[in-house]
Amino acid sequence: MTDTDNTDAILQRLYETIASRKGGDASASYTAKLFDRGTEKIAQKLGEEAVETVIAAVAKDRDGMIGESADLLYHLLVAWANAGIAPEDVLAELERREGVSGIEEKKSRKG
């Protein structure tokens, strides 16, 4: 099992690599190509990977779910970088919610 610090480091390195591809050569980098194709394509790919992860989960396909989850995380990080969101922004929100009941948290969002 991977320790938390190593997990954080892996995700941070991946995010930094992804962010460095913005404005890069779309013929040489899949990530640069996604950025070049724009928000709609990035969102489409993120949705496709989410669906594929759900399909693997329903099928109880552990290996499939691991692979699809990696694809999903990659495309989520691309979407974050595209929107100017850093992992620490999301982690701060998770930390804010820590210890708060999911039911209570959802109630707080209803205006």
Taking the model in full, what pTM does it have? 0.86
Interatomic CA distance for residues 56 and 62, integer angstroms: 7
What's the chain's average pLDDT? Answer: 92
Q: Give me the pLDDT at residue 105, please.
A: 63
In three-state secondary structure terms, 29 is coil
pLDDT more than 90, % of the chain: 79
C-alpha angle with apex 2: 30 to 85, nearest 5 degrees?
A: 45
* pLDDT above 90: residue 55: yes
**What pLDDT does 2 receive?**
54
The fold of 4-90 is: Helix Hairpins (1.10.287)
Domain ranges of the chain: 4-90
Place 87 in a pLDDT band, splitting at 50, 70 and 90.
Answer: very high
Count the Cβ atoms, other than its own, within 10 Å of residue 78.
25
- Burial of residue 75, with CB atoms counted within 10 A of its CB: 0-12 exposed, 13-18 middle, 19 or more buried: buried
